Structure 1
Amino acid sequence: MPNTPEFTEHVENDLREIATPAGVLRYYDAGDGPTLLFLHGSGPGVTGWRNFRGILPTFAAHFRCLILEFPGFGVSDDFGGHPMITAQGAVTPFLDALSVDRVDIVGNSMGGGVGINFAIHNPDRIGKLVTIGGIGTNVFSPGPSEGIRLLQEFTEDPTRQRLVDWLNSMVYDQALVTDQLIEERWKLATDPRTLASARRMYGKAAFAQMMAMMKSADVPMPWALMHKVSAETLLTWGRDDRVSPLDMALIPMRTIPNAELHVFPNCGHWAMIEAKAAFESVVLGFLTRS
């Protein structure tokens, strides 16, 4: 599979959609081989394509790569409800609709949490699991983190400067926050329907309600269930992540039975973008290891 701008442009222009019992989902499909499912994170103007377009050519040379666009983030339709819960409910119907029985998963931030949820409930359908930051819980660092607080502030009152402040918190090298990136994110992040979906997740009242619910006796915290993941798991993290600080990795690293951790130096929350070459090498080695 050629690692060329023409290849990437061709895939970007081939956005597909499929009807599922949950609703219509949109996705990208590139490459041949075992199926590798990419699950994106959350935040203003995020899409699966923007999270993974840079690394797609490398992985499409070895795998059939599916990039799922979660409902409510501006590409797939908004199914209503809490976006993370909706995302968790979208993966199995999506794979069923494509007649995919078994997958490896790469999940960025929220997508890693969705991947863990899928692995727990579908142990016979998951091969290997790769997460990129975003899971676990704060052990030494205060919570919510700087990046989450900036995300909440943008969601409550979306201004261009708040978007820039949040984007700067996502990376170690702020030169990556280009005018093109800002414009790309701003356009989708301020779309009324996408913003309404974001407020159901990161609005201060909604966030507080979610935290209270998760702390209730009836709902176990997500990190308390990670011992149920039987899949081989690679946790990847940016050492300088200001959204999900590195100490969050300690519990999943210790409690997921078959987990290993790789930390990229001089790297923030977007390891697949900021440490692209190293990320590709580490993850490809993990996925292809016997």
Structure 2
Amino acid sequence: MDITYENTQREVRTDQGVIRYHEAGDGPPLLLLHGSGIGVSGWRNYRGNLAVFAEHFHCYVIEFPGFGISDPVPGAHPVLAAVDSVIRFMDALGIDNAPLVGNSMGGVVAVNVAVKHPDRISKIISIGGVGTGIFSANPSEGTRLLQEFADSPSREALIRWLNCMVYDPKTVTQDIIDERWDLANNPESQQALKAMYGSESFALQQQFMANSPTPPYWAMLHKVKCPTLLAWGKDDRQCPPDMAMMPLRLIPDSELHIFPKCGHWVMIEAKQAFERVSLEFLRR
């Protein structure tokens, strides 16, 4: 299957701006949700997996608002804007119900959508991200490096963070560095990163959560009713694998697969194994 950026790129207009996405394949719908981070996009998260999934599903790789590709939602926190955009996207394309694959922040978005709209989500595959640390340091090494970049962007800080994302440093090629740096310089992408990881914003978020009467999202994981696969890299330094214990215990119909010699980017570093496990789960 010929999967290229140009022949899969689409856009749809919603009541809160244009959402851009990539589309490929036939069959039942499957939505793929990207993570946060420096110079991130849905295409960069899933371009290597799209051809395999598209053999079985009608795939939609959503570009979340405010990351430099889809229209931003003014004043909205990137995660909250992303949660809302999934339902807006499904409504705009007439998708009643679908499974979600979410990398890191995309997994957090997926479980939030499933809690708020349980009838719209049939299954979830969360690649890291969901839950909170039990034994590991908080913030994690990866989050501290994101804060460093958000506070003072530089190519060197980008490279330090990229190397933290993977088990094998050879995964971080010059092409990946260049394309990440290019999008990281987009003002919308910088604003989203600063809103999530900048030292000032991060401190305010921590203070808000400590004093908020609303429980954190991970305290609501028991409300996720659909089958959920937690896919984790054993050597994840962004979201260490002890984080998986909370969603594994709280989500009623959940299972965990840990991939050895693999960092945060499971769909990239453990590509074939991840695709095999995911397809078995989705087609079960």
TM-score range, shorter chain: over 0.9
Q: Over aligned residue pairs, what C-alpha RMSD do you find?
A: 1.0
Task: Identify unmatched segments of 5+ residues in structure 1.
Answer: none
Matches of 2:42 and 2:141, distance apart in 1: 23
Cα distance in 1 for partners of 2:206, 2:200 equals 10
Counterpart of 1:8 in 2: which secondary structure? coil
Name the counterpart of 2:51: 57
User: CA–CA distance in 1 between the matches of 2:244 and 2:184?
Assistant: 28
- From 64, 68, 71, give the equivalent of 1:74: 68
2:10 is the counterpart of 1:16: yes
> Which of the residues 197, 206, 211 maps onto 2:201?
206
Alignment of 1:1-290 (within 5 A): 2=1, 7-9=2-4, 11-80=5-74, 81-289=76-284
Q: Which amino acid is the alignment partner of residue 63 of structure 2?
A: E
Q: What is the one-letter code of the residue matched to 1:66?
A: Y
Task: Call closer, same or farther: CA 1:79–1:203 in 2, change over 3 Å.
Answer: same
- 2:3·2:24 contact (CA, 8 Å) conserved in 1? no
Q: Which moved more, 1:13-22 or 1:185-194?
A: 13-22
What do residues 20-61 of structure 1 show as CA deviations (whole Å, max 9, x unaligned)? 122211011110111000000001100000000000000000
| Contact in 1 for aligned 2:145/2:160 (Cα 8 Å) | yes
1:135: how far off?
Answer: 1.0
**Conserved in 1, the CA contact under 8 Å of 2:34 and 2:62?**
yes
Q: Normalising by structure 1, report the TM-score.
A: 0.96
Letter paired with 1:123: P
Please give the per-residue CA displacement for 1:233-252, whole angstroms capped at 9, x wherever unaligned. Answer: 00000000000000000010
Output the amino acid matched with 2:57: F
Contact 2:96 2:120 (8 Å CA) reproduced: yes
Runs (4+) of structure 1 moved beyond 4 Å? none
Amino acid at match of 1:43: G
Letter in 1 for 2:116: H
- Shift, 1:128, TM fit: 1.0
Percent identity reads: 54
Gaps of 5+ in 2: none
